[in-house]
Amino acid sequence: MKNIPLGGMISTVVTPFRDDDTIDLDLLRAEVRYLLGAGVTAICACGSTGEGQTLSLEESRAICEVVVDEVAGTVPVIGGVIQNSTAQAIRYSLALKEVGVDALQVTPVHYVFAPSAEETVEHYRLVGEAADLPIILYNVVPWALVGLETIKMIADVPQVVAIKQSGGNMHLLVDLLADVSDRFVILAALDNLHYPAFVLGAHGALAAIPTVTPHLSVELWDATQKGDHELARELHRRVLTVWRAIDGPNLPALLKEALRLQGRNGGLPRKPFAPATPDDSARIEKALRAANLID
């Protein structure tokens, strides 16, 4: 199994859809280049920001192949797996490994019925053994949240090397940092709380907001590591302003509108979700101006 660095400011990348719901891989390449230019430490494709839950195996494979090619070994590439059975998670994981991803981001199964602790451990054990790549446990699903005691059990699965704590739970993030940060890389995915998470000792972030604010987010990580908390608090305020404007049920569409307003092109959201409304656009534009990201 590869041993790769998974700390610092890791960015997700959008999946640009066309009017006919197919994927524009040229726009994807442009976004990857932009993120690399901002100095992110890794790129995650086919996650929630990339609408991974909507992607076929073939689409996920094609996306990750493009990202791996564009990155060309400069930073790790993480492939997202959002599936509802161990068999499907293994199929996707093997396909993404085949095109060269360095690590996987894997959700627990989550359709209506939450698995038990033992079933969750077995899920990650089987995916880990099959793919033999570093796995980030993507702890995002509120009704299937993997708790601290279960995560301690997953410590016996060598391929699981990191926990991406999302699901709106700062309390669990604090417990993870206190109890298992010597075993796992702890990544913050609470987009409005990166600064306090870094102060508390998180090893980095893997989240949606760096996709929109990669330069600010990288500067925030660097400032916190240097102990420049005055600068870090100012950067946090600017990032928070943008996050408040795009946080919502239609996050991929709102996020893509924030890219468009910055002169970037993230394409359309996947149907049935609609593009941002004029009111959404006005709110996001106001936030980007307040954060000094557009003139």
pLDDT, one tens digit per residue, over 9-67 is: 999 999 999 999 999 999 999 999 999 999 999 999 999 999 999 999 999 999 999 99
Widest distance between CA atoms in the chain: 53
Rounded average pLDDT over 159-163: 98
Residue 287 lies in a domain: no
Judged against a pLDDT cut of 80, whether residue 167 lies above it is answered with no
Question: Which of 34, 92, 124, 138 is flagged as catalytic?
Answer: 138
Say which CATH number the domain at 205 has.
3.20.20.70
When pLDDT is cut at 50, 70 and 90, the band that residue 168 belongs to is low
Give yes or no: 226 in active site.
Answer: no
Residue 269 lies in a domain: no
- Would you say residue 164 has pLDDT above 90? yes
In a domain, 71, yes or no: yes
Number of domains the chain is built from: 1
CA distance 95 to 93: 5
Q: Looking at the domain assignment, is residue 110 inside a domain?
A: yes
Cα–Cα distances (Å) from 102 to 17, 39, 99, in that order, read: 25, 18, 10
Tens of pLDDT along 260-282? Answer: 999 999 999 999 999 999 999 99
3-state SS of the chain is CCCCCCCEEEEECCCCECCCCCECHHHHHHHHHHHHHCCCCEEEECCCCCCHHHCCHHHHHHHHHHHHHHHCCCCCEEEEECCCCHHHHHHHHHHHHHCCCCEEEECCCCCCCCCCHHHHHHHHHHHHHHHCCCEEEEECCHHHCCCHHHHHHHCCCCCEEEEEECCCCHHHHHHHHHHCCCCCEEEECCHHHHHHHHHHCCCEEEECHHHHCHHHHHHHHHHHHHCCHHHHHHHHHHHHHHHHHHCCCCHHHHHHHHHHHCCCCCCECCCCCCCCCHHHHHHHHHHHHHCCCCC
- For the chain, the average pLDDT equals 96
Percent of the chain at pLDDT above 70? 100
**pLDDT at residue 102 is higher than 80:** yes
As a whole-number percent, the residues of the chain with pLDDT over 90 amount to 93
Report residue 85's pLDDT band, with 50, 70 and 90 as the boundaries: very high
Active site residue 164: yes
Q: Does pLDDT of 114 surpass 90? A: no
Domain that holds residue 195: 8-225
Q: What is the pTM of this model?
A: 0.97
How does pLDDT run across 185-212, given as a tens digit for each residue? 999 999 999 999 999 999 999 999 999 9
pLDDT, tens digit, for every residue of 172-187?
999 999 999 999 999 9
Residue among 92, 124, 164, 195 flagged as catalytic: 164
pLDDT (tens digit, 9 = 90+) per residue, 208-256? 999 999 999 999 999 999 999 999 999 999 999 999 999 999 999 999 9
Cα torsion 80, 83, 86, 92: sign: negative
Size (the chain), residues: 295
pLDDT at residue 2, as a whole number: 76
Tracing tokens 């987009």 back to the chain, one arrives at 191
CB 232 within 8 A of CB 223: yes
At residue 3, the pLDDT reads: 86
Backbone angles phi and psi of 175, in degrees to 5: -65, -40
Q: What are phi and psi of 161, to 5 degrees?
A: -110, -15
Is the predicted pLDDT of residue 161 greater than 80, yes or no? Answer: yes
Contacts of 187 (CB under 8 A, 6+ apart): 6, 7, 10, 136, 162, 163, 164, 165, 202, 203, 204, 205, 206
